[in-house]
Chain A
Amino acid sequence: MKSVIHRRAFLAGAAGLGSVALSARNGFAQQAWPARDITYVIPYAPGGMSDNISRLLSDKLGGMLGRQLLNDYRAGAGGAIGANYYMAQKPDGYSLLQATNSFFGVIPNVTKVEYDPKTDLTPLVLVGDAPMAIACNPAVPAKSLEEFVALAKKNPGKFAYGTSGHGTVGHLCGIWLAKRAGIEILHVPYRGASQALQSTLAGETQLFFGPEAAEQISGKALTGLGVMGSERWSAMPDLPTTAESGLAGWAPRSWHTVVIHSKAPEEIRLKLAKMLNDILAMPEVKQRLIMFGLIPGFEDLAGMRKRADDDYAEFRVLLVEAGLALKK
């Protein structure tokens, strides 16, 4: 069995390098990367957005590399278990981590983790932004964010927002909105976004933040008040941004990326970033991401680093406010 794998690895390596003589020579000297299959750590339970993205990407990337990407699910502790597990892998370019900005902005601020988000992990590409739509129960007489804010100012503490838990991006959206708009709204944590969304549909809570509300907004089951940030969402172009509604600057956001050890060899990092960006530029991949409810986009490595570092600093302010941040 073992010898078979080795021979196949050798053949695949040789075939992939046949066209470039120079690297072919390297290949014979010390089997060129990737000489074996790559572990792809998914830090959440199967079935969620991260899982869907990983399934989409691993097929394509595996095809390009002539290797398999082996999905390795390590769910738990909001992703912290998966991140720590990933850190325990050798930084040799044979492991990837499917991640969100939580791994840079939230998790290291609230949980003791075995990585430094600034120096240990490198986000390679922007898979897509998950638009944080703001939706409210139609019983609330507000058609826009401004109207809602005015209403909430008259009724402090009367409105509640449902989220998928403490310290999630939805929760931080609520803290941010309350702080920036000067209103008082009640946080009600649920177990998962679908339960929270259901509570807003039923009127148990009045407000919901997240891409999951899109179907309900377009079906008029919920009123769309806007979308967090400064860019409109192409799938729901009628929703104004929070910046347009007078709340300029950074707003809590959610984006998906693929992460590699910063200590992995630089040429592998560059090569993977290029390959992944090529995959993300494919029309059929873009179309799938849009269907998942994401906004596809592009950032280079420096842009990704800036996103990660900005989120660390900005989320920390909100997490301190919520009393959740670890003491440093």
Chain B
Amino acid sequence: MDFASLFSGLGIGFGVALDPINILFAFIGCLVGTLVGVLPGLGPTATIAILLPMTTSLSPVTGLITLAGIYYGAQYGGSTTSILLRLPGEASSVVTVLDGHGMTRKGRGGAALAIAAWGSFFAGTVGTLFIAVLGPAVSALVLKFGAPEYFMLMVLGLVASVVLAQGSVIRALAMVALGLLLGLVGTDPNSGQYRFTFGALELLNGIPFVPLVVGLFGIADILVALEKATKSEEEVRPAAIGSLWPTRQEARRAAPAAARGTLIGLILGLLPGGGALMSSFVAYSVEKRVSGKDGDFGNGDPAGVAAPEAANNAGAQTSFLPLLTLGIPSNAVMALMTGAMLLQGIVPGPKIMTNQPQLFWGLIVSMWIGNLMLLVINLPLVGVWVKMLKIRYTILYPIILIVSLVGIYSVDYSTFDVFLTALFGLLGYLLQRWRCEAAPLVLAVVLGPMMEEYFRRAMLIARGDAGIFVSRPLSLGLLVITLAMLASILAPNVRRFRSKAFQE
């Protein structure tokens, strides 16, 4: 793309996005999204579905800008609960829990929220530019990513998830194995046969994600706190809050991490089917590797918040590209956006850019405006959210429980999911007692089925020849990276370092 048309495009885009009505609706979208993201369970997919009919009375651009605002807002809102309450709303914020909540325990919750907000804004800005400049060219590359490449990417992710754990490698591996086993529940992708569903139709699509994470993280945490409270016969004290703003030192840790996270998010976000999800924890693992001994991961390292949050948001931006340039929605939210476009009389696809420049560029510029608004909305809110921590736990915990369960019920209106949450809450409590970490387990549950799917698809396409994984350059490259990472985990000096870090 030449620069003249880029600038004229951006000009059109700013013309559309700076229209007062569009600014207003971008603001409303971001605000609604933030609030929704804070409630566990009720994610962006459900909210957009509910609000979709209302947007049909708006002009197409305004409608899409509103929905896009909800999407980013929810991404951001989800990290608020992860950081403050250890309640991840979706897979991508599982990683934010580790150090985000670690910072909260150290009384740096406000700083963690501010770092997440700035990191997301930075990533959003770069992401918007990236889409505008390289978008159409890059989206063609997505097609080069076939089943073998996806499989290798998932393996890489799984190996990286061991790095996420703070404790013993053996325990982390055990959690990965358990997660993979849980991931077997559902429908066999190639034969359509049901596996371990025990006749429950609710399990045909596998173990639902939100009950799993809310149980393992949120509910389990409450159970552990209750146990402590009853044993010591004194109320668990809310964490001290401290300054709301990052210190200079924290900012210095966070800034380069956000930059690296953004880069990772931009690339992985392009890949439909798991790319955006992988970006946050690949970014986290990279930080852990880069920092080496300097890092204090798991106990509230600012880099551990900045990197996944930036990656997450950059990925959210680039996941629009396959929809806008190829007409292929890359996740459930994008599928809803397709629906929104169709209801407005627009067929998403390769022709959008030329036939509807107002819409294409308007949406892109409003992505950036939306990110700016999130910053404007969220920085003042940091103080409000952090005040939640001052609420006495005897009041806060019941509220968290009720809100979580209502949220979970509202996803599919299923009581089955509510019971499942309770069950995973219990499992999460036991795991904490046994000092096993839930993060690798959760990631294995998410990655396992995808890995199986891509592996079996690759084998189908290659007619059973496993050579396909090494004969394709991209796949081979990923394999080499994975092996290198595995070697570094197993290398004894690394292990010694890990156990030393654990004692601290």
Give the contacts of B223-256 with A (CB-CB under 8 A). none
Interface residue? B347 (CB, 8 A): yes
Pair A76/B332 contact, Cβ less than 8 Å: no
A-B contact pairs, 28 of them (CB 8 A): A45-B45, A45-B335, A46-B46, A46-B339, A47-B332, A47-B335, A47-B338, A47-B339, A52-B343, A73-B49, A74-B412, A76-B202, A78-B204, A81-B201, A157-B463, A160-B461, A186-B460, A186-B461, A188-B457, A191-B189, A194-B272, A198-B143, A198-B272, A201-B326, A202-B143, A204-B461, A323-B191, A324-B192
Q: Which residues of A contact B52 (CB under 8 A)?
A: 46, 55
Question: In the bound complex, do residue B332 and residue A166 qualify as a contact, i.e. CB atoms below 8 Å apart?
Answer: no
B326:A198 contact, CB within 8 angstroms: yes
Docked Cα-Cα span, A186 to B342, in Å, equals: 33
Q: Are A197 and B273 interface neighbours, CB within 8 A?
A: no
Which residues does chain A contribute within 8 Å of B349, judged by CB atoms? 215-216, 219
**Cβ contact within 8 Å between A48 and B335:** yes
Distance A297 CA – B53 CA, assembled complex (angstroms): 25
CA distance A55 to B339 in the complex (A): 10
Instruction: Give chain A residues whose Cβ lies under 8 Å from the Cβ of B53.
Output: 55, 59
Q: How far is the CA of A165 from the CA of B189 in the complex (A)?
A: 7
A318 → chain B closest CB, angstroms = 13
Beyond A75-B412, A160-B460, A215-B351, list 19 extra A-B contacts (CB 8 Å).
A46-B45, A51-B339, A52-B339, A76-B205, A77-B205, A80-B204, A165-B189, A166-B190, A188-B457, A189-B189, A190-B457, A195-B273, A198-B326, A202-B144, A204-B147, A215-B350, A221-B350, A323-B191, A324-B192
Contact of A292 with B by CB under 8 A = yes
B460 and A188: CB pair below 8 A? Answer: yes
* CB <8 Å contact, B329 and A189: no
Residues of chain A within 8 A (CB-CB) of B189 are: 165-166, 189, 191
A80 neighbours in B (Cβ, 8 Å)? 201, 204
Determine whether A167 belongs to the interface, using a CB cutoff of 8 Å to chain B.
yes
Interface string of B22-44 (1 = CB under 8 A from A): 00000000000000000000000
Interface presence of B467 (CB below 8 A): no
With A45-B332, A186-B460: A84-B201 Cβ-Cβ less than 8 Å: yes
- B20 contacts the other chain (Cβ, under 8 Å)? no
Closest to B49 in A: A46
Closest 5 CB pairs of A and B: A166-B192, A46-B49, A47-B336, A202-B143, A47-B335
Q: Which residue of A lies closest to B337 (CB)?
A: A47
Q: Considering the complex, give the chain A residue whose CB is closest to the CB of B205.
A: A76
Chain A nearest Cβ from B63, distance in angstroms: 13
- The residue in A47, A55, A216 that gathers the most chain B C-beta atoms within 10 A of its C-beta is A47
Q: Once bound together, how far apart are the Cα atoms of A323 and B338, in whole Å?
A: 34
Number of interface residues of A (CB under 8 A): 49
- CB neighbours of A205 from chain B (8 A): 461
A21 at the interface (CB under 8 A from B): no
How distant is A205 from chain B, measured CB to nearest CB, in Å?
7
Tell whether B327 is near chain A: CB-to-CB under 8 Å.
Answer: yes
- Complex interface bits, B262-283 against A, C-beta within 8 A gives 1, otherwise 0: 0000000000110000000000
Question: Smallest distance from the beta carbon of B42 to chain A beta carbons, Å?
Answer: 13
In the complex, the answer to whether A194 meets B144 with C-beta atoms within 8 Å is no
Q: Does A20 contact B (CB under 8 A)?
A: no
A198 contacts B201, C-beta separation under 8 Å: no
Residue on A with the closest CB to B327?
A215
Q: How far is the CA of A324 from the CA of B188 in the complex (A)?
A: 12
Residues of chain B within 8 A (CB-CB) of A76 are 201-202, 204-205, 412
Minimum C-beta distance from A22 to chain B (A): 36
Knowing A48-B335, A191-B453, A215-B347 are in contact, say whether A197-B49 is a contact too (CB < 8 A): no
Q: Please, what's the 1-or-0 string for A132-168, where 1 marks a CB less than 8 Å from any CB in chain B? A: 0000000000000000000000000100100001110
- Residues of chain B within 8 A (CB-CB) of A5 are none
Per-position binary interface string of chain B over residues 382-394, scored 1 when its CB falls under 8 Å from any chain A CB and 0 otherwise = 0000000000000
Do the beta carbons of B351 and A219 come within 8 Å of each other? Answer: yes
Min CB distance, B195 to chain A, in Å?
13
Interface residues, chain A, CB within 8 Å of chain B?
A: 45-48, 51-52, 55-56, 59, 72-78, 80-81, 84, 110-111, 157, 160, 165-167, 186, 188-191, 194-195, 197-199, 201-202, 204-205, 215-216, 219, 221, 288, 291-292, 323-324
Task: Point out the residue from B143, B205, B328 that lies within 8 Å of A194, measured CB to CB.
Answer: B328
Interface code B344-358, partner A: CB below 8 Å = 1, 0 otherwise? 010101110000000
Is B15 an interface position by the 8 A CB rule?
no
B411 to chain A, nearest CB (A): 10
**Contact yes or no, A167 B201, CB < 8 A:** no
**Contact call B332/A219, Cβ cutoff below 8 A:** no
B146 at the interface (CB under 8 A from A): yes
Determine the chain A residues whose CB is within 8 A of the CB of B460 once the complex forms.
160, 186, 188
Which of A74, A167, A215 sits near B413, CB closer than 8 Å?
Answer: A74
Report the Cα distance A325→B504, complex, angstroms: 59
Closest CB-CB distance, B136 to chain A, in whole Å? 14
Cβ contact of B192, chosen from A51, A167, A191, A194, cutoff 8 A: A167
Could you tell me the distance in whole angstroms from the C-beta of B129 to the nearest C-beta in chain A?
A: 26
Q: How far is the CB of A171 from chain B (nearest CB, A)?
A: 9
In this complex, what residue of A is CB-closest to B329?
A194
A195 touches B272 (CB 8 A): yes
Q: How far is the CA of A165 from the CA of B52 in the complex (A)?
A: 27
Measured CB to CB, the closest approach of chain A to B179, in angstroms, equals 19
Determine if A188 and B202 form an interchain contact, defined as CB atoms under 8 angstroms apart: no
Closest partner residue, chain B, to A215 (CB atom): B349
Tell me how far the C-beta of B464 lies from the nearest C-beta in chain A, rounded to whole angstroms: 11
Q: Which of B44-60 contact A (CB under 8 A)?
A: 45-46, 48-49, 52-53, 56
B201 & A46 in contact (Cβ 8 Å cutoff): no
Output the least CB separation between B202 and chain A (Å): 7
Q: Give CA–CA (A291, B45) in the complex, Å.
A: 24
Contact A166 B191, beta carbon cutoff 8 Å: yes
Chain B residue at minimum C-beta to C-beta distance from A84? B201
Known: A77-B201, A80-B201. A291 touches B339 (CB 8 A): no
Tell me how far the C-beta of B461 lies from the nearest C-beta in chain A, rounded to whole angstroms: 6
The CA of A221 and the CA of B139, in the complex, are separated in Å by 14
* Bound: A14/B53 CA distance, A: 29
- Taking the closest CB of chain B, its distance from the CB of A148, in whole angstroms, is 19
Task: Provide the residues of chain A in CB contact with B201, threshold 8 Å.
Answer: 76-77, 80-81, 84, 111
For A52, the chain B residues whose CB sits under 8 A away are 339, 342-343
A72 to B272, CA, bound (A): 28
CA distance A186 to B459 in the complex (A): 12
B-side contacts of A110, CB under 8 Å: 192
Q: Which residues of A contact B205 (CB under 8 A)?
A: 76-77
A123 to chain B, nearest CB (A): 22
Residues of A within 8 A of B144 (CB): 202
Q: Least Cβ distance of B291 to chain A in Å?
A: 36
Contacts of B351 in A (CB 8 A): 215, 219
Residue of chain B at shortest CB distance from A42? B49
* B347/A291 in contact, CB under 8 A: yes
A165 contacts across to B, CB distance below 8 A: 189, 192
Cα separation A194 to B330 with both chains bound (whole Å): 8
CB neighbors of A among B400-445 (8 A):
412-413
Complex CA–CA separation, A144 to B201 (angstroms): 41
- Contact (A191, B45) CB under 8 Å given A77-B201, A160-B461, A291-B345: no
Digitize B62-86: 1 where CB-to-A-CB distance is under 8 Å, 0 elsewhere.
0000000000000000000000000
**Bound Cα distance A55, B52 (Å):** 9
Using an 8 Å CB-CB cutoff, how does the interface string of B193-212 with A read, 1 for contact, 0 for none? Answer: 00000000110110000000
Minimum CB–CB distance from B25 to chain A (whole Å) comes to 20
B residues 331-377 in Cβ contact with A at 8 Å: 332, 335-336, 338-339, 342-343, 345, 347, 349-351
